[in-house]
Structure 1
Amino acid sequence: MVSKVVIVGGGVIGSSTAYFLRLMDPGVQVTVIERDPTYARSSSALSAASIRQQFSTPLSVRMSLFGIEFLRSIGERLEVNGERPSVDLHEGGYLFLATPPGLSTLQENHALQCELGADITLLDPASLRARFPWLNTKDLAAGAFGETGEGWFDGYGLVQALRRKAQALGARYVAAEVTDIECQGGQAKRVLASNGEAFACDVVVNAAGAWSRRIAAMLDIDIPVYARRRSIFNVSSPAVLEGCPLLIDPSGVYFRPEGRTFICGTSPSADNDPDDLPLDEVDHALFDDVIWPTLAHRVPGFEALRVERCWSGYYEYNVFDQNAIIGAHPHIENCLFANGFSGHGLQQGPATGRGLSELILHGKYITLDLSSLDWARVLTGRPIIEKNVV
């Protein structure tokens, strides 16, 4: 029987796990060790904070279907002392665009998403022009638009609401850095923290995000997850884009409205994406050379853009297959990993926290089987191919 759980990392993944653990079993002692309680450098606070069901793998679709259900009901779920949090959920939709070479993949993904219950509409170029008259469709074959269930929200607000609710349910948060994990007989026994405390545990959860590799190394486990910097730009433009969604260009460049301005970005090329770049720097060359020209081509009104502000955050990037690693490693049976979401952690956080809590308390998944995301695929070299990585 599990009585003491220590969670390393109090972002959306860790706090969601703490919340569901205490909700499912108030008798479990839950301790969350978070190195930065301000979340100033956390992915939860620095990301573009969005949610979609437009994935190519059934499990990712299902996880995000639960994610939108959770966000829609967050006021009721995470109410504390009569105060209902809001994360400003805006279901403005995702619009994935495809040129002719990508048409068949878009159609296959659309069929899968609709089969699983996602509300996605496939649009031909004429329909795209009618719905989004500001869009350049000359080189496009189709677009897939999320009518409902997709959009963006306040990521920092989500982690704060989860943390506050988990604490109200009895979880303890400790502001410290994990310095070591003591093991004996193939099990983690104690988690040591920089504040001098030592926490006995029946289960340890590695939810350390971009810093998860260091935690795994304490267990002599090599996890293929690295901190990869992503720069985000907030831009203004005189362009008026009625009904603007979160748009994914075939190049991978994305943008979405943010009040009267727009947020945009893209991933750097694979040969220019080193690990652990400093977050106090922004890749301005990526904006000048790639993002702006792409936006100006896709939306002619974006020829006039001005960067209002910019920042960088980390993807906890799984270099093996860009999907999360969830579950125990065979070398340490009572340490569960929830790492490597590669930009999908906010939207998949609720499903992950619920699933880990079921695994801890019942020894198996009950509501949604996450076992295909476990270590077995990594250790045997069987990557999950996700065609809609952003």
Structure 2
Amino acid sequence: MVSTVVIVGGGVIGSSVAYFLRASAPDVPVTVIERDPTYARSSSALSAASIRQQFSTPLSVQMSLYGIEFLRSIGQRLEVNGAKPSIDLHEGGYLFLATSAGEATLRANHALQRSLGADISLLDQPQLQARFPWLNTDDLAAGAFGESGEGWFDGYGLVQALRKKAQALGARYVASEVTGMARDGRTVTHVLTSNGERHACDAVVNAAGAWSSRIARMIGIELPVRARRRSIFNVSSPARLGPCPLLIDPGGVYFRPEGRTYICGTSPSADNDPDDLPLDEVDHALFDDVIWPALAHRVPAFEALRVENCWSGYYEYNVLDQNAIIGRHPDIDNCIFANGFSGHGLQQGPATGRGVSELILHGRYTTLDLSTLGWERVLANRPIVEKNVV
């Protein structure tokens, strides 16, 4: 029986693990070490904060189906002393668009999603034009739209709600930085922090997000996760589009409503995506050269756009396959990894927290089997191919 758990990282993944552990096993001491309790630079607080079921791999669909179930019931699940948190969930849907070149993939993905219970509609060109009259459909063959279960929410609010509930259930949060780990053979015995404390552990969880590789190296493990900067732009337009989903253009540019404005972004090209770029800088050239032209083409009314605000956050980017790495490394018995979500951490956080808590308490997954996301495929260099990477 595990008697003490230390979690490195108190963002959405770490706090979700802490919540599920304490909710399932109130007698198990849980300590969460978070170096920045303001979360000012955390991926959880700086992301576009959205959820979808439109993936091409069954497990990702299933994790997000549980994610939307969790988010819908957050007021009841994470209530503390009568205060019910709200994350302002908007189920406005995702709209993935495809040209003729991508239509077959879109249709195959749609069939998978529907088979797993996701509420996704497949729309042909005339249906797209009728439903979204502000959309330029001239070069489109089809689109897939989330009728329910997809949308956006307050990511920072979710992290705070999980943290407060975990604390109310007895989890201890320590504001400090992990500086080392003591390892005895196949076991991590202590986690060392910058305030001089040594935290004994029967199990340790690496949930350090963009900095998780640094933590892994402390126990001699090379984790293929890097900090990759993503810039987000808040723009205004005189256009009023009416009901508007989170739209993914065939080239990868996305936008969604944010009150009376819109937020938008895209991933840079693979040859212009180095590690550890400073977060206090924003890739304005990406907006000028890629994002704005794509938006103006897809939504002609967006030719008149104004950037109101912009910021950058990190993806904890799994360079192998942009999917999470969850589970134990074969060289360490009591360290569980939950890293490399590559932009999916907020939506997959609840399923991950539940699964990692099961692994710690029972030695196996008892609800949704996350084992395909384990270390085996990483060590064998056998990537999971996800066709709907955003």
TM-score (normalizing by structure 2): 1.00
Partner SS, residue 293 of structure 2: helix
1:138 aligns with 2:138: yes
Q: For residue 28 of structure 2, what is the aligned residue in structure 1? A: 28
In the TM superposition, residue 305 of structure 1 has moved relative to its aligned partner by 0.2
Residues of 2 paired with 1:104 and 1:159: CA distance? Answer: 37
Q: Deviations over 1:287-331 (max 9, x none)?
A: 000000000000000000000000000000000000000000011
Q: For residue 381 of structure 1, what is the aligned residue in structure 2? A: 381
In the TM superposition, residue 59 of structure 1 has moved relative to its aligned partner by 0.2
Give the letter for the 1:348 counterpart.
Answer: Q
Partner SS, residue 296 of structure 2: helix
Give the letter for the 2:331 counterpart.
Answer: H
Structure 1 stretches (4+) deviating beyond 3 angstroms? none
Please show how residues 242-281 of structure 1 align to structure 2 within 5 Å: 242-281=242-281
Q: Deviations over 1:195-250 (max 9, x none)?
A: 11110000000000000010000011111000000000000001111110000000
Q: For residue 7 of structure 1, what is the aligned residue in structure 2? A: 7
Partner SS, residue 130 of structure 1: helix
1:329 aligns with 2:329: yes
Give the letter for the 1:389 counterpart.
Answer: V
Give the letter for the 1:265 counterpart.
Answer: G
Residues of 1 paired with 2:127 and 2:89: CA distance? Answer: 26
List alignment gaps of at least 5 residues for structure 2.
Answer: none
Residues of 2 paired with 1:100 and 1:240: CA distance? Answer: 29
Q: For residue 87 of structure 1, what is the aligned residue in structure 2? A: 87
1:286 aligns with 2:289: no
Q: Deviations over 1:133-169 (max 9, x none)?
A: 0000000000000000000000000000000000000
Give the letter for the 1:231 counterpart.
Answer: S
**Count of aligned positions:** 390
Q: For residue 196 of structure 1, what is the aligned residue in structure 2? A: 196
After superposition, the CA RMSD in angstroms is: 0.3
Q: Deviations over 1:64-98 (max 9, x none)?
A: 00000000000000000000000000000000000
Residues of 1 paired with 2:371 and 2:194: CA distance? Answer: 33
List alignment gaps of at least 5 residues for structure 1.
Answer: none
In the TM superposition, residue 185 of structure 1 has moved relative to its aligned partner by 1.8
Give the letter for the 1:233 counterpart.
Answer: F
Residues of 2 paired with 1:366 and 1:142: CA distance? Answer: 38
In the TM superposition, residue 20 of structure 1 has moved relative to its aligned partner by 0.1
Residues of 1 paired with 2:160 and 2:230: CA distance? Answer: 22
Q: For residue 179 of structure 2, what is the aligned residue in structure 1? A: 179
Residues of 1 paired with 2:243 and 2:95: CA distance? Answer: 11
Give the letter for the 2:57 counterpart.
Answer: T
Give the letter for the 2:339 counterpart.
Answer: N
Give the letter for the 1:334 counterpart.
Answer: N
Q: For residue 221 of structure 1, what is the aligned residue in structure 2? A: 221
Residues of 2 paired with 1:241 and 1:206: CA distance? Answer: 43
Please show how residues 230-249 of structure 1 align to structure 2 within 5 Å: 230-249=230-249
Residues of 2 paired with 1:250 and 1:28: CA distance? Answer: 47
Residues of 1 paired with 2:185 and 2:302: CA distance? Answer: 60
In the TM superposition, residue 333 of structure 1 has moved relative to its aligned partner by 1.3
Percent of residue pairs bearing the same amino acid type? 81
In the TM superposition, residue 354 of structure 1 has moved relative to its aligned partner by 0.1
Residues of 2 paired with 1:93 and 1:239: CA distance? Answer: 20
Give the letter for the 2:281 counterpart.
Answer: E
Give the letter for the 2:177 counterpart.
Answer: E
Please show how residues 297-316 of structure 1 align to structure 2 within 5 Å: 297-316=297-316
Partner SS, residue 239 of structure 1: coil
Give the letter for the 1:15 counterpart.
Answer: S
In the TM superposition, residue 128 of structure 1 has moved relative to its aligned partner by 0.2
Q: For residue 37 of structure 1, what is the aligned residue in structure 2? A: 37
Q: For residue 61 of structure 1, what is the aligned residue in structure 2? A: 61
In the TM superposition, residue 48 of structure 1 has moved relative to its aligned partner by 0.2
Partner SS, residue 334 of structure 2: strand
Give the letter for the 2:18 counterpart.
Answer: A
1:118 aligns with 2:131: no
Residues of 1 paired with 2:367 and 2:289: CA distance? Answer: 45
Residues of 1 paired with 2:14 and 2:376: CA distance? Answer: 22
Give the letter for the 1:192 counterpart.
Answer: L
